Chains A and B, each alone.
Chain A
Amino acid sequence: MAVRLLMKVSVDQIVDEGGGIRSFYFRPEDRRQFPPVLPGAHTLLRVTKGMMRQYSLCAPPGDRRYRLAIRLDPAGRGGSRFMHESAHVGDIFYLSYPQPDFLLDPDRPSYSFFAGGVGITPMLSFLYALQGRTCRIRLCYFVRADGAVPFEQEIRALCPQVEIFNSAQGGRASFEDLLDGSRGDAIYCCGSAPFVAGVQGAAESLGLGTIQVESFVSGVKAGYLGEPFVVDLPRSRHVLDIPSDRSMLDVLLEDGVDIDYACEAGVCRSCIVDVIEGEIIHRDQCLTEDERRTVMTPCVSRGRGRIVINSI
C-alpha cells in the first residue's frame, strides 16, 4: 500500500520511441520536486475525469522529471489514444505518488529480466538501479517493431548483452529454453497478460519457483459475463440493476457515479468501494483476504442478490 494522492504535473517533453511508443516527460506544477521513485514503481495517470491509467516510472537517474512510456493501442479503452492524439507539451495532468508494487531485490548476484513490448519500462528502471553493480544481468526483450526497436539505444548502453526478439523480423524464442539458462537468477517479467502467463507457465514447468511479475491488464476479461445482481447506494439513494453482460463499474459510470478506475481488470485497486451488506463474488487479483470482507473492485467482481455500497 502507498499514498495514492495525485500531484499536478505538466508535460515537459514528448519523445517518439518507435513501435507506437511515446515517452512523456512530466515536471511538477504544485511542488518543487517529485517524490523519489523506487525502481519498478508505477504511477497512476489521470487521463481525464475518472479515467486513470497505470504506467511504470522509468526516467534515468539524475533526471528529476517523471517519464512514462505509453504505447498507442488503437483498439484499447481510450487512455493511450487520448495521450497520443491530444496531449501536448505544457498540458496539465495529474499523477499519483509512485506505487511500489513491483520492486527489485537489490542484493541478488544474478538477474533475468523478461520484457514484452512496453513491459520493458520497469526493466529500464531496474537496469539503471543496477548500474555499477557486480552482478550478472540477463535481459530478454520481446518486441514487434517494423522500424526502430523502442529504447534499443538506451538499453544497449545499460545492458550490451540484451537479447532482442523482434517478431516483425522473425525473432522468436522459447520461454522454456531461455529460462533454462536463468536457473538461480532472480527473475522478473513484465508485459501483456498472455506474455506474462507464458513466462510464468514456462517457469513453473521448469520448477523455477515464483517469479516476480507485473502486468497492468490481467487475464480477467473486463465486463465479465456473470451473475445479475442489485447494488444499493444509500448515500445517493440509487438502486441499480447490474445485468449479467455488464460490469458493476460500467453501470456505476453510466449512472454518473464519480468513481476512479484504471485497469478495469481487478489488478490496480483504483475503483475499490466499501461494501456494508451482502455477499461479494470477488474476481480481483489485488485485495487481501482481510480486505475482501469489506471492499470490492466493481470492475470485475460482482454481488450475489443484493449488495449495499457505502462509499459512493
Chain B
Amino acid sequence: MTGRVCGIYTAEVAAQEMMEGHECRLLANVGIEGDRYARRIGRWSDRPKTEHQISFIELEVLHQIYDETGVVLTPRETRRNIITCGVRLNDFLGQTIRVGKNALVYVEKLNHPCKYLERLIDKQVMASLLGRSGLNCQVISGGIVRLGDRIERVL
C-alpha cells in the first residue's frame, strides 16, 4: 500500500495558522524542524509525548466530509503536518512507515479530534472527523520530505 504526500504544513507556535511548504526536515525523536512541537511550544508541549512529533491526515477524508456535510475543511485547517492521498492511514496503526527516501515514523495512535480545533477554525468538524482524524506519530529516523514523496509501510 503506497500513498503520496500532497500537503506539508507546520506552525511555529500553538494556534498559529498552519504554513504551507514544499518540503520539511524530519528530526529523529524531535519532530519537524521549525514546527511547534519540535520547538516544544505546541498545544500539548507541557506534557510532551512522542506521538505529537508529526501528524498525518488523508485528503480523501476532507472530500468525504464535504460530500457528507457540506463543510469545507481545508488541509491547512486540519492542523495536521502531512496531508496524504491514495492510502488508508488507519491501517498503519502500530507500524513503521517510510516517508520520502529516508524518514521513518512510527504510528503510535489514531488521532482523536478535539473541540480546540473547532474553536480555532470556527467550524463544526469534530463529529465528522471521528474515526478518520489521521495519525499521531513519532519520528524514528530523520530525513527530508517533499511534496509528491511516497508513503509506504516498512516491511
Contacts and interface: CB of A to CB of B under 8 A. Distances in A.
Interface string B95-119: 0000000000000000000111001
A5 B120 contact: yes
A235 B122 CA distance: 24
A260 B120 CA distance: 12
Contact of B122 (A3, A46, A94): A3
A94 B120 contact: no
Interface in B34-86: 41-47
B23 interface: no
B14 interface: yes
Nearest to A93: B13
B28 to A, nearest CB: 24
B46 A94 contact: no
B interface SS class: loop
A172 B8 CA distance: 59
B16 A7 contact: yes
Nearest to A255: B46
A258 B14 contact: yes
Contacts of B121: 3, 5
A8 B12 contact: yes
Nearest to A52: B15
Given A311-B114, A311-B115, A6 B17 contact: yes
Interface in A1-44: 1-8, 30
B19 interface: yes
Contacts of B13: 6, 46, 49, 94
Nearest to A44: B15
A311 B47 CA distance: 13
A3 B47 CA distance: 26
B19 A257 contact: no
A49 B122 contact: no
A256 interface: yes
Nearest to A96: B15
Contacts of B41: 49
Contacts of A46: 13, 15
Contacts of A96: 15
Contacts of A5: 15-17, 120-121
Interface string B20-40: 000000000000000000000
Interface in A92-109: 94, 96
A236 B47 contact: yes
Contacts of A257: 46
A250 interface: no
Q: Name the residue among A7, A49, A258, A311 with the largest chain B CB count within 10 angstroms.
A: A258
Interface string B103-144: 000000000001110011110000000000000000000000
Interface of B: 12-17, 19, 41-47, 114-116, 119-122
20 contacts: A1-B122, A3-B122, A4-B122, A5-B16, A6-B13, A8-B12, A30-B16, A30-B17, A49-B13, A94-B13, A94-B16, A236-B46, A236-B47, A256-B46, A258-B14, A258-B44, A258-B45, A260-B15, A295-B115, A311-B116
Q: Which 10 residue pairs are nearest across A and B when measured between Cβ atoms?
A: A258-B46, A5-B17, A6-B16, A236-B47, A256-B46, A6-B15, A3-B122, A1-B122, A4-B120, A274-B115
Given A4-B15, A49-B13, 6 more contacts: A5-B17, A6-B17, A8-B12, A30-B19, A94-B13, A256-B46
